[in-house]
Amino acid sequence: MPLTSNSSYHPVLLSFLHHWEQVNAALPTPFILRQGTRAEALLLADGLAARLTGVTEANVATQIAAAEVLLLRDELRGLLEQWTGIVSVYWESTPWGRLAPNLPPVDAALDKFLRYFRDALRLWALIETEPPPPAAPVPIRIGPGELIGRTEFAAKVEALRQASLAWETAGFAADVARARRDVLIKKTRALLMDYTRVLPPRVGADGPLVATMPRLWPAPGHTPDPVTAEAAWLPEPATARLTWTASEDKMLDHYEVRACSGPKYNREDETLLGTVDAQAERSLDSTRFLEPPGAVASYRVYVVLTTGNERGSETVVLQR
């Protein structure tokens, strides 16, 4: 397996570490790189694995926080629509009927979105200080299910503000996790490139240890055509099932199914879900990134050739 995306760095490093063990066994003294010994490279592998996992976990946390914000925005927008309707009808002949705010755009930025609700709360408080029009439902109670008043509505508005802050914080934590990962990615790439440069003169360019050295980059050759992938959520046995069309490339080695948390696929953050042999059934079941109901994951199926060249399918997005 050569280097392709960030997710390939850890398994490639492990393959080189296995080869390094064979080199040390064959040489009179341990093989050492400018970046250090094999023992230090093992620590690097452990650290890289932790950083890759950290990015995945941070992305999941960001998607969970984003989903909470979207739910609260939808709920509040529905409540505001109901409240505005009541005020516009029962307070129509008063100055307040014309002051009832419109609905905020669905995709409005948070500050603009919240302004509509702050205006509604100010007007709501003002309405409660004056005698109501005839037949007006006072105090105003809104909502599906258990009805709420102004205090509870204000609490929901504050909950949205806090949830949005949590989303922003989670996004920053994901950026930090990527930055930490990228430092080790760069260090790993430098170590692996140094390994391929320094080993041949140490053991002989035509020797068996060079011949068995893992491949660092895909071999020269063509890039395969992509396959077409589909994803479906199966209530029984509660899993996502990925299927795809067959590759007709004669150099097909295997397929790889990779995924990201959320509706947007980011190749730099993709996670390998599984490898499927060329002749095996073209399907893979996974619950990764879809553990909670309502979660969203995006997938690609990669055609991988014997040269290591690969190509991914179009992104498939699935919501549980």
CB atoms within 10 A of CB 139: 12
What is the mean predicted confidence (pLDDT) over 171-187? 97
Q: Percent of the chain, pLDDT > 70?
A: 100
* Predicted local confidence at residue 145, as pLDDT: 85
What is the mean predicted confidence (pLDDT) over 84-99? 91
Report how far apart, in Å, the C-alpha atoms of 211 and of each of 17, 19, 20, 206, 214 are. Answer: 16, 11, 13, 7, 9
Lowest average pLDDT, out of 7-21, 183-197, 285-299, goes to 285-299
Please, which residues bridge with residue 125 across strands?
A: none
* Predicted local confidence at residue 98, as pLDDT: 86
Residue 236: is its pLDDT beyond 90? no
List of residues 6+ apart from 228 with CB closer than 8 A: 244, 245, 313, 314
What is the mean predicted confidence (pLDDT) over 53-78? 94
Q: pLDDT for 100-145, tens place per residue?
A: 999 999 889 999 999 999 999 999 999 999 899 989 999 999 999 8
What is the mean predicted confidence (pLDDT) over 257-282? 95
* Predicted local confidence at residue 291, as pLDDT: 87
pLDDT band at 287 (very low <50, low <70, confident <90, very high): very high
* Predicted local confidence at residue 294, as pLDDT: 84
* Predicted local confidence at residue 81, as pLDDT: 96
The terminus-to-terminus CA distance of the chain in angstroms comes to 32
* Predicted local confidence at residue 247, as pLDDT: 97
What is the mean predicted confidence (pLDDT) over 229-236? 94
* Predicted local confidence at residue 117, as pLDDT: 96
The answer to whether the beta carbons of residues 116 and 104 sit under 8 Å apart is yes
* Predicted local confidence at residue 293, as pLDDT: 83
Q: If you average pLDDT over every residue of the chain, what do you get? A: 95
Q: Is the dihedral of CA 315, 298, 12, 306 positive or negative?
A: negative
* Predicted local confidence at residue 48, as pLDDT: 98
Give CA–CA dist 137/91, Å, rounded.
Answer: 10
Residue 153: is its pLDDT beyond 90? yes
Residue 241: is its pLDDT beyond 90? yes
* Predicted local confidence at residue 90, as pLDDT: 94
Residue 242 three-state SS: strand
pTM: 0.86
Beta strands in the chain, from DSSP E residues, in sequence order: 229-234, 239-244, 252-261, 271-277, 283-286, 296-305, 310-312, 316-319
What is the mean predicted confidence (pLDDT) over 195-221? 94
* Predicted local confidence at residue 267, as pLDDT: 93
Q: Is the peptide bond prior to 237 cis by the omega test (within 30 degrees of 0)? A: yes
The answer to whether the beta carbons of residues 219 and 309 sit under 8 Å apart is yes
pLDDT band at 306 (very low <50, low <70, confident <90, very high): very high
Could you tell me which of 103, 69, 63 has the C-alpha nearest to residue 83? 103
Residue 176: is its pLDDT beyond 90? yes
